[in-house]
Amino acid sequence: MMRDAVFLPLTMEAAGECATGLRTKAEAANRAAADCWTAMVGDCDTTSRRTLILTLHDLSEATAGTVQYRRVAEAEALIDEAVREGDGEEFAEALVGYDLAVATVLSRLRSQSA
């Protein structure tokens, strides 16, 4: 049985205990990142490459008002640049930074609500 790829593992883990809306946004962002990666590897100009940043931004908005928001926004901008340039290595590096920044915020939000 084939498992779905997890491109935002820390975020997915942190979102597991969060409100349904955040978990849904994290799942959508993970799927969008996987779809975008597939398109980049295939050197295809698909909708997934053009819409990834919108999906990530929906999740990023959940971090607004937090100390980490600047890190999230910077990583989001790096992802957007990498996708536009078709740079897979830069995309992977930026996605790791984004994943860490968002997961940090979600973990803090979860611990504050507990």
DSSP secondary structure string for all residues of the chain:
-PPPP-S-HHHHHHHTTS-HHHHHHHHHHHHHHHHHHHHHHTT---HHHHHHHHHHHHHHGGGTTSTTHHHHHHHHHHHHHHHHHT-HHHHHHHHHHHHHHHHHHHHHHHHHH-
Is residue 78 predicted with pLDDT exceeding 60? Answer: yes
- pLDDT-derived band of residue 111, with 50, 70 and 90 as boundaries? confident
Q: What is the pLDDT of residues 21-38, one digit of tens each?
A: 889 999 999 999 999 999
